[in-house]
Chains A and B, each alone.
Chain A
Amino acid sequence: MIAELGSFALILALAFAAAQTGLSAFARARRSSVLAAAGEGAALASFAGVAIAFACLIHAFVTSDFSVANVAQNSHTEKPMLYKVAGAWGSHEGSILLWCFILTGYGAAAATLGRGLPQGLKALMVSVQGALGTVFLAYTVFASNPLLRLASPPVEGHSLNPLLQDPALAIHPPFLYSGYVGMSVVFSLAVAALIEGRVDAAWARWVRPWALAAWSFLTVGITLGAFWAYYELGWGGWWFWDPVENASFMPWLIATALLHSAIVTEKRGALAGWTLFLALGAFTFSMLGAFLVRSGVLTSVHAFAVDPKRGVLLLIILGVTAGSAFSLFAWRAPKLSPGGVFAPISRESALVLNNILLAAATATVLLGTLYPLIRQAATGEAISVGPPYFNLTFAPLMAALAILLPAGPLLAWKRGDLRGVGQRLWVAALAAFGCGLLTYAFVSPKKALGALGVTIGAWLVLGAVAEVIERTRAFRVSPADSWRRLTGLPRGAWGMTLAHLGLGVFVLGACVELGWKGEAAEALPLGGSVNVAGYHLVLETVGPVDGPNFDAEQASIRITREGQPVCIAEPNRRFYPAGNQTVSGIAICYRGASHLYVVLGERRETTPDAQGRGGTPVWLVRAYWNPWASLIFLGPVIMALGGLTSLSDRRMRLGVARPRKDRRGDQPA
């Protein structure tokens, strides 16, 4: 009954989304505020419909209603409650419903919050958002309905893949999708602006909060995914340049570029066309990501919920949506006004350079991700592009970006002064260079690349600090005056500083981890030991442990350093009978920001020798020393915090209509 109710609500939501598209488009054509209000109402109703359907699906999962096909395939009565709920978005159908839920949610939010927007632009935006909702809801209803019943329900479900039964991964899809789909509002605003033929500072200001919110969610979502891969897969790594990872990373890169180019459009009215292009591109890459992940066209180690047949449908949706949007862009963009003029050395130029580098980096990632497909189509050979390609192409571009980054915020708009920037940054530069040199000389003289990475990371962190010092004029005016300036800084400025600082923290963590990680693997009998990076690991006991829906073999490994006890690591190997799968549960000993990462492998028997002795059990124990690994995950969290801080800035608040005069004042002459 409840599942049928959900299906019905879903169909209603589709009808409302279609109505939203039509009513709002009519509202723009007739300039009717009544129709516009009706369109907004339809947006809310559509969201309510999807919310009901989603709640019904979660209800089916929580109550283990195996007559619903999706629940039977992805749930199990013995599964802990969190994973029953998370199972609702663990499958193809469920995750697409989550996508629709968030899409219509953003649509409803845009309809409610966008009070400051001109009526025509807003009606068009709501209409485009409705069209996106219609397309994805139609796909859900007709090709991927998660609430379909089974004729003969099984007694027990297949359970969710054990690798997905993890807290980080339970909340990973909602964050990731909030990021992906948040770009849809930006997309709708861009299409609306193209139809209206007006892109100005005000438009850029309306786009920014949505882009910021989506970007922050995406940052957190990707970080959660990387963290999951780090501690659930037991490979000791956190990023593998897998197609699925790249699929989430490309929209992030484009969104980052968009956030920066929108600043130029907002402050100086320039780069309007490019900002529009990125606004369309961000959601296009999100859809491409969804397609790549769901269709299984690329060989991926993390592919879940793959369905090639429906992948074609997703590809058609992607082609039609992005194709029509970019056609509109090609038709209307040349008519946009070119905007303000700026000198080669200026804030605008720095942001343009940022965009060029980010766009180039995205292009190299895209090419590397799709190259196997291209090659397959051209020559029929099956190939894969490995991490060395991405490290070689992506890292230098990002290094160039990072080296230039601290100078950007210190340059003046319109015409900057390099000497002034040099005066403000030479201390930071010298200190960063010193950090790198010290690392090179003392920590390990062989790791030149690692030391370079440390230099760049320190440069970013110190550059962010120097920027705050500059803004508060610390050490040049009285401390009280500096404090007054510090507290008076706009939140937008804090947000930027935090985001740049977070990037520095991430770079430091990533470079130290990659440069100085240690690894050891050995088959240990009870009492056996292995050494990694100065730590001494002794396998003390291995015993059985019962989990809620798994049986595990858990080891107790005593870790000492120079005879001093450090900690007891308890990695395990879990067997999930429902899915007939074994998963390793790793253990991490935190040593400051560094991790000692221990994996318990398979149990084996030593071969008996000539006297018949032997046959004792041994366990493969792998240990990784991952220095500063916490910073890898902390950095992006700081970046996302920066995004949220910036979002809370007064200027960003939607619905605060700025006086007409002021708005005009922002535009270039």
Chain B
Amino acid sequence: MSWLPKSPKARRRLTLIAAIAPVLALAAGLTLWGLRDSISFFYTPSQAVAAHPPAGRAVQLGGMVRMGSVAKHPDGRVEFVVADRTATSKVVFQGDLPDLFREGQGVVAVGAFRGDGIFEAKQVLAKHDEKYMPPDLAKALKAQGEWRGDGSTPDYAKAKPST
């Protein structure tokens, strides 16, 4: 193989590059491909109204669970309203709510909006820790001036919806 460099050092470097290059290409390719398809955007209800994500696109919806909005059906379906200051979204979820799910407290629902504007959650994340608030949610609430420290319930979440 005359095209190989003569010195063993240079030869080793070439081998090393030959080994690294495909792995790097594979990793980079997979990363770009993966990041294209598996990121999901985080919205509060009012941001969701503004951004209007297409139906079926995986997103996360975060906000406060409005007091009195939780309806638990015997077939395992749960409906509740997630609210921020200016907007609300109705969420339906099939299954068991996490242990720390509470009315009037923060929640993040993972799923997609349906064509009729109802959010269908595949997963509902409350936190493990009483004092923990997901940072995206905390930030969104702070931006709206609704942050009053941990565990407090803003007024809009207290009001019972007229719907």
Contacts and interface: CB of A to CB of B under 8 A. Distances in A.
Interface of A: 161, 163, 234, 296-306, 338, 341-342, 344, 349, 352-353, 356-357, 360-361, 363-364, 367-368, 371, 375, 381-390, 392-393, 396-397, 400, 521-523, 579, 581-584, 599, 601-602, 604-607, 618, 620, 622
Given A382-B139, A385-B39, A352 B74 contact: no
B31 interface: yes
12 contacts: A296-B135, A299-B108, A299-B134, A302-B128, A353-B23, A384-B39, A385-B39, A388-B34, A389-B39, A393-B34, A397-B23, A397-B27
Contact of A384 (B31, B40, B131): B40
Given A163-B128, A363-B27, A364-B31, A601 B38 contact: no
A604 B95 CA distance: 12
A341 B8 CA distance: 7
Contacts of B75: 523
A382 B95 contact: no
B100 A397 contact: no
B20 A382 contact: no
B96 A602 contact: yes
B99 A368 contact: no
Q: Is the interface of A mostly helix, strand, loop or mixed?
A: mixed
A383 B40 CA distance: 5
**Residue with the greatest number of chain B CB neighbours at <10 A, chosen from A161, A584, A622:** A161
Contact of A582 (B99, B128, B135): B99
Contacts of B131: 306
Given A360-B23, A579-B130, A383 B30 contact: no
Nearest to A393: B30
B9 A341 contact: yes
Given A302-B128, A523-B74, A385 B139 contact: no
Given A299-B134, A383-B40, A352 B19 contact: yes
B131 to A, nearest CB: 8
Nearest to A360: B27
Interface of B: 8-9, 12, 15-16, 18-20, 23-24, 26-27, 30-31, 33-35, 37-42, 58, 60, 72-76, 94-97, 99-100, 108, 125, 127-132, 134-136, 139-140
Contacts of A306: 129, 131-132
Contacts of B135: 296-299
B96 A521 contact: yes
Nearest to A401: B23
Contacts of B31: 364, 367-368, 393
B23 A304 contact: no
B29 to A, nearest CB: 9
Given A234-B96, A393-B34, A523-B75, 18 more contacts: A297-B135, A302-B128, A303-B128, A303-B132, A341-B8, A341-B9, A363-B27, A364-B34, A368-B31, A371-B39, A384-B136, A386-B58, A387-B38, A392-B33, A393-B30, A607-B73, A620-B95, A622-B96
A390 B8 CA distance: 38
Contacts of B127: 301, 303
Contacts of B37: 388-389, 392
B41 A301 contact: no
Contact of A618 (B12, B74, B134): B74
Q: Give the 8 A-B CB pairs with smallest separation, nearest first.
A: A382-B42, A388-B38, A389-B38, A601-B96, A389-B34, A360-B27, A382-B136, A392-B34
Contacts of A375: 39
